Structure formats: structure tokens, C-alpha cells
Structure 1
Amino acid sequence: MKIHTIDKLNLGLLLASFILACFLPFELFLFGYAFLGPLHYLTETNWIADKNYFVINTYWKYLVLGAAIIYAMPYVFSLPIFSQFFSESIILFFTGTVVKYTNFVLFFILISAILALFYKTYKAFVLSLLIAVLLSVWTYSSEAYILINGLLLPTIIHVYLFTVLFMIYGVQKNKTKYGIINIALVLGLPLSLVFLDIDIFHYQFTQGVKNNYVNNNFHALNANLAKLFGVYDDLRFFFYEKIDLKIQIFIAFAYIYHYLNWFSKTTIIGWHKQLTTQKTIIISVIWVVVLCFYWYDYRFGLVLSIFLSVSHVMLEFPLNVITIRSLFSSKLKINRK
């Protein structure tokens, strides 16, 4: 499929994602997160692994593995089923103590990813780890650190900001008309929510949708975005307030298009070429198993897919850094001309 055709396809996906998000802001997000999310995590992780994680020193992948396990453990041990097999003190250790360091490991991997692009020797590897630890500890307790790294980095920054940057990078390389239109849309559609009269949608959310959204703590992102935008002075979330609905439309749009954009780029970056028959079977089986858990209990499926989710976010860090560096280097070349 040619780039021109893919750009036209993405134009349709952008509009479809936004329209569906307007009509089904919570339902679309919950469905996409459960159905498209795990398949995205698995296929992108396979592609990144085939690219040697975009770093010079591949020891870095073991850091990601360890960090993802630490990050996922508090969520796993929060499931009621584990209370039957482990003592209260063990469960409290993971849910009360280890959980305090999830933000730390995420930021640590981000710093180490930046450094992993450059170090080659074992000594440099160890030195970079020390630098990453010091930077992580230095910023650990700040409010901005908790908001940006703990909440926004694995969510909106990952699914929206980096998606926009990838699109800009693609347009710089190919400069297609539809590519430019898509960038205008991905930036302009969320801004159009300021003027959109959402009363026309007559929202009515079922108790199941409300429970799945709140019980899985998805609403923390909404509340923090509302506070960040100056809507509320503290953390608040309501299902039927206009501003909360518009924030949710943006979140649903950002996530759904992030997933669809990845699958639409199959022929551009060729991530499907690394899918051998064996890998395809493994990925398909894991995906179906995760879907079954989501179907059985949304919370159960979410917790079991946390490791896949956070590891793919971490593994993408070097690619994010490379993309940002390429964007700036391209601008420098243009200015020099």
C-alpha cells in the first residue's frame, strides 16, 4: 500500500475515531483499551525487539523486563484471588510499599533509554545506570514529577503526543498533502471540542460502564487533566458535566487513533514482516487469553495486561528519543539551508 493511500486511510481513521468518541466517549475507550490495546502491545513489542530495541547496548532490555515486573506487581497482588494464597503482610508489601516505586522505575527507564542510545561498553552501561538512578531520585518527590511521569507519560504523552510527533516526522520525510491534513486534524479535532455542543448526543451511560471506568481508576487521568486545564481547583470527576465529557472524548479519541494508526502503518514500517508463523500463533494465543480475562472480569483483564502495556511503553522510549532528535536535526538542516 502506497504512502498516499495510507495517508488517506488515516484521514478516515482520524474522523471515525473522533466521531465515535463523541457518541461513545466511555464505551469506546473501554472497548478499545481491552480489544485493540493488547494486540498493539504484543505486535509493537515484537517489532521493537526485531529492531534490537533501537539501542546500542541490548542489555537495556533486561532493565525494562525488571522494571515492568516491578511496575506490574502491585496491580497483580491487588486482585482478591491472591488473598487466598498469600498473607496480608505480603500483599501489603506489594500494594503498599512496591507501588510507591512504580513512578521511579518508569522514569529510571526513560533516563536509561536516552543514555542507552549512546553507551557501548560495560563500564559506560554501569555509569549510565548510576546517572539514571541519581536523576530519578532527584526528581522523585516533586509534584510535577508525579503528574508528568507517573500519570501523563504512560497515557496522554505516549498515545497522543508521541503519535503526533511520529506523524510530523513522516510528513517531513514524504511531504504528502493528506499527511499534512492529518496533522492538522489530529491537532484541530481536540481543539474543536471547545466549541462543540455535546448536548446533541444525549448521553446515558450504564452502571456497568461507570463501574468499569471508576473501579479501574481510569478517571484519575480525567481528574488530573481537568485540574491541569484549570477547570477545577482540586481533583474532581463527573460523568455528565460538559467539561468532563469533552475531556473524555479527547482521551477516547487519542487512544483509539493511537491503536488504529499503528495497525494502519503496517506496510510503511513493515512490522508484519517480523511475524513468523510461530510468533503469530503465540501473539494470537496471548491476545485471545487476555480478551477472555477482560470478558470474564474487566479488572482481571486489565491487571493481567499491565505488564504488556507498561513494557511496550518503556521499550518505545528509545524510538521516541530518536524521533524527537530527528525532528530537531531536520529543522536545523532546513535553517542552515
Structure 2
Amino acid sequence: MQGLRRSDWGDLMALLVSVVAAAVAPLQVLILSYAFLGPFHYLTEIAWLRGKQFYFGKGLVSPRVYALLAIGMSILALVEGLAKRADFAFWIVGVLLFLSLTVWVRNPYLLVMIALAAVGVSFVLRTWVYFISTMVPTLVHVFFFTLAFMVSGALRDKRTTLLKWLNPGLLAVFPLLLLFLPMHYSAPNGFWLWAESASFAAIHAKLAGDLHHTLLLNSKLFNDPVVAGLLRLFAFIYLYHYLNWFAKTELLQWHKTSRRGWTGILTLYVASIAIYAWNFRIGLVVSTFLSVLHVLLEFPLNWHTLRFLALRWRGERVETATGSRTQLQVPL
């Protein structure tokens, strides 16, 4: 296809691999992607964001303080008993989401109004609490913000070809196809059912329940087409989220990462895989910590991207956080 750049081809291949894999073996693809690709993505993105001062240079606190708060909140998210409470997770995610908003909104009166409104709604609308505590770190992060970054990249692209919208369009369409794809799967065995119960079962069960279906963690898991569709959806968006990141070689410039940086990243990654080999449940805990941490650290970049899209929607010229229209690049 004339007009597709090398990075576009890499993205397209990641999309096709992800949609086929998710359709063929959704449960296995989701668990293995989260366990083995996830930690490497989290570690490399955290290192990349650190080099950009987490895009928090003009926030309410210093980038270092923001990072320390994110680490502390991520540790609290693992506290047994507290981690399963939506209200507790709401405050963990909400505090960092609000603090990161200060890179965009600096009017103190408006910030106070936003904070009061967010907290007030949490007392009367439980769906809001669940959305912030659970959906933002998972579905919103891996799908919505990935799509937002891709749309942002297409808008920044000075090429006039419509092909620059091919990959964002496919990312928007493939989840719908996977939700309704008629597929037959063999009954999952004990390990995969256990891994699902220890990782994504809670959110899958909640979403299935919202659609008036029930997730059964047994050999009949795939008998319900709605549950099967949800598993395919999550497998696709998580696998693509990771592959899309790794494909951005031109933007991320892996070759410029120092030897010391790569040593640290690879050491921590090998350690996380070793923990999985030793105890899969503890490995999931480590992955969850890294996942939550990288989500919280990415919030400032998310706000910058949403600001860019909002201003472009209004037809305004956009200045990035660093004052250049090209310096603020989005990785996903």
C-alpha cells in the first residue's frame, strides 16, 4: 500500500497478529500477554516516561514527587483486603488522576470545583466509582488511550493520504468484530481457569453481569457467547497494547537507551519472569504493581493528549507542554 510508512506497517502487523491470536485462543493469549509481555512494556515505558520527566514539568508538584506518590499508591493498591474495595481503589486512581490534571488545568478555583464534583458524584453514583477504580486502569488505559494516541499521531501527520487513518480505524473496528465473532472453543483446563480467577475474572464478571450474563469459571466458560466475546476483546486490546508499544522503534529510539538503563530494565524483567516460574500467583502480584504504576505515571501524558485532541477539535493551534508542536510525541 503506497503511503504507509515503516512504522505504519509495524502497527498494521501488530493489529493483525493481535486480532487473529485473540480470536483463536483468547484466554491463553490474555494471560500469557499479561504475564510475559506486560512487565517488559511497563518497565520500558516507565523508563521512557522518566526520561521525559513524566510530562509533569508544569504540574502542581515536581515530577519526582509525582513519581514517588505513584509508587506509594501502587504499593497501597496491593494491600490485601483494601485492594478489592472499589472505594479504596477510587481514591488511589482518583488522587493521581486529579494531581496529573494540573498539567492542563491551573485555575485553583476550577480545580477545587472538579475535585468536589468528582467526590460528590462518588457518593451517589456507584458506577462512577467503579469506572475510576477499575475501568480507567484497565479498559480505558489499554484501549481508549491507545486509540487517542493513534488519532493524535494521525492528526500530527502532515501527509494528506487517508491511509494514515487505516490503523486507528482498524483498532476501533476489530473489538466490535471480536465481540460478535461466532467461534467454538474447547473447554479450558484447570490452570487457565485459575489464572483467569486470579487476574481478570472480577472485571469480566462485572461486565458480563452488566449485560445480564454470568461468567462461569469452569469448563463451560466459553459456552456463553457474551463471555467469550469479552475474553476475545480483552485478549486483543492487551496484546495489541503491548505490541504497539514495542513497534514504535522510531519514536522510542531504543538504540539511545544507555547500557546501564538496559541492564536495569532487563534485570528487573528477568526477575519478574523468574518470580512467575517460582510462584505464578506472586508473579501476577508483581505484574499488577508494575501495571498500576505505569498507568498512574502515564496520566500526565494522557491529559496532554486529550488537551491536544480537544483543541484540534475546536480548530485551535496547539502548543505542547514544551512549547513545540512536534516535541510532545505520544508513544502508543
TM-score tier, shorter chain, comes to 0.7 to 0.9
TM-aligned CA deviation for residue 311 of structure 1 = 1.5
1:45 alignment partner in structure 2: 46
Greater share of residues in helix: 1
Could you tell me which amino acid in structure 2 is paired with residue 30 of structure 1? I
1:209 aligned partner? 192
1:6-17 alignment to 2 at 5 Å?
6-17=7-18
Q: What SS does structure 1 have at the residue aligned with 2:314?
A: helix
1:163-178 correspondence to structure 2 within 5 Å: 163-174=146-157, 175=159, 176-178=161-163
2:278 alignment counterpart: 296
SS in 1 for 2:187: coil
1:329 Cα deviation from its structure 2 partner: 1.5
Is 1:101 matched with 2:88? yes
Measured at CA, do residues 67 and 45 of structure 1 come closer, stay the same or move farther in structure 2, by a change above 3 Å? closer
Give the CA deviation at 1:101.
2.2
Query: Residues 70-89 of structure 1: matches in 2 within 5 Å?
Result: 70-73=73-76, 75=78, 78=80
- Residue-by-residue CA offset, 1:58-113 (whole Å, 9 max, x unaligned): 525424433442443463x54xxxxxxxxxxxxx7x6689x852320211110110
Which digits, 9 at most, give the CA deviation of each residue in 1:169-191, with x for residues without a partner?
A: 11112255443121221111111
Label 1:129 to 1:284 Cα distance change in 2 as closer, same or farther (>3 A): farther
1:64–1:315 CA contact under 8 A, matched in 2: yes
Unaligned runs of 5+ in 2: 318-332
Per the alignment, residue 183 of structure 2 pairs with 198
Go from structure 1 to structure 2 and tell me whether the alpha carbon gap of 1:294 and 1:130 turns closer, same or farther (over 3 Å shift).
farther
Tell me, in whole angstroms, the C-alpha distance in 2 between the residues paired with 1:131 and 1:206: 51
Counterparts in 2 of 1:208 and 1:112: CA distance versus 1, 3 Å: same
1:220 equivalent to 2:183? Answer no
Distance 1:95 1:101, change over 3 A: closer
Q: Which of residues 113, 116, 122 in structure 1 aligns to 2:100? A: 113
Instruction: Give, in angstroms, the shift of residue 30 of structure 1.
Output: 0.8
One-letter code aligned to 2:276:
Y
Tell me whether 1:69 sits opposite 2:76 in the alignment. Answer: no
Superposition pairs of residues 311-330 of structure 1, within 5 angstroms: 311-330=293-312
2:315 match: secondary structure: helix
Distance 1:173 1:63, change over 3 A: closer
**Which structure 2 residues correspond to residues 123-272 of structure 1 after superposition, within 5 A?**
134=116, 137-141=119-123, 142-174=125-157, 175=159, 176-199=161-184, 202-214=185-197, 216-228=198-210, 230-232=211-213, 236-237=215-216, 239-240=221-222, 241-267=224-250, 269-272=251-254
Alpha-carbon shift at residue 197 of structure 1 (Å) = 1.5
Question: Aligned in 2, Cα 1:101/1:23: closer, same or farther, shift over 3 Å?
Answer: same
The CA distance in 1 between the partners of 2:115 and 2:313, in whole Å, is: 32
Q: CA deviation at 1:320?
A: 0.9
2:34·2:287 contact (CA, 8 Å) conserved in 1? no
Distance 1:194 1:35, change over 3 A: closer
Which residue of 1 is the match for residue 329 of structure 2? none
CA pair 151-237 structure 1, distance change in 2 beyond 3 A:
farther
What is the identity, as a one-letter code, of the residue corresponding to 2:206?
N
TM-score (norm 2): 0.82
The residue type equivalent to 1:218 in the other structure is F
Following superposition, the deviation at residue 304 of structure 1 comes to: 2.2
Q: 2:53, 2:63 within 8 Å by CA — same for their partners in 1?
A: no
Partner residue in 2 for 1:86: none
Using the alignment, how far apart are the partners of 1:146 and 1:236 within structure 2?
Answer: 22
What one-letter code is carried by the residue in structure 2 that aligns with 1:168? V
SS at match of 2:16: helix
RMSD: 2.8
* Change over 3 Å in CA distance of 1:36–1:95 after alignment to 2: closer
Shift of 1:274: 5.3
